[in-house]
Structure 1
Amino acid sequence: MFGTNLVDRRTKPERIADQAWQQLISAVNAAGDSVRDTARSARRGGHRLGDEAGDLVGSAADEARHRASLAFDALAGRRPALPWTLLIGAALVGAAVGWAAGTAARAAGSREDRAADDIEFVDVDRPNSPVGQDG
């Protein structure tokens, strides 16, 4: 009785989302049962064909459950989660590229400093110029 009071207090969109979810679950289960029955009969006809159908049933059922979950979330007004693995991977790649660029820039800068240190200045007397009055 306690549970029925909570169910009655839900908002209309929540009830609609729950009904849609239940319909999706029943459709997925019905489709899965139908495909499993077909796979069983195919397996009796040929073991290799049955194995392939069993794999197909598993992947199709997983995909159907995933899509049903996304549909329920959309009906409930929830936004999809951020792809954290993709974001973290992009950040790591960016950090690696930045590190490589910084290292290359420091290496190029140190080469220029060494070239400037290797320059030797020599005093040269100009012809027709008295010594000490170059100017």
Structure 2
Amino acid sequence: MIGSTLLERRSKPERIADQAWRHLTSTVNSAGDSVRDTARSTRRNGLAFADDAGDLVGAAAEEARRRAVAAFDALAGRRAALPWALLVGAALAGAAIGWAAGSAARAIGNRSERDLDDVEFVDVNRPSSPASLDT
């Protein structure tokens, strides 16, 4: 009760200032919670972004390292190793294409021989032909 009578005895400007102070602290606390939530979500998003950027930088660093080793070898006069996997793959692809082309050529050759057996040649005398062709 003593506190309630003290509050009532204050002047109007003091009561208004007290009310404004309570309102201000409430607003600041609520804004602090909002800022804290925003900071947490920003930190989570920032960590994900940093992780993605780290992966990208890691890939770029690996490519840079590979190129630097190749440049160092070239400056040292060493030749690059042959890409054996690529060479073997190209040889196998060439063998497969050659086998397919040979099979197709044999099939066409067999069909044309059968067609020639069925063809009947006819000798035709043409009276209007030039003189040297019919002899």
TM-score (norm 1): 0.50
Which protein has the larger Cα radius of gyration, Structure 1 or Structure 2? Answer: 2
Q: Looking at both structures, which has the greater relative contact order when contacts are Cα pairs under 8 Å and sequence separation is at least 6?
A: 1
TM-score (norm 2): 0.50
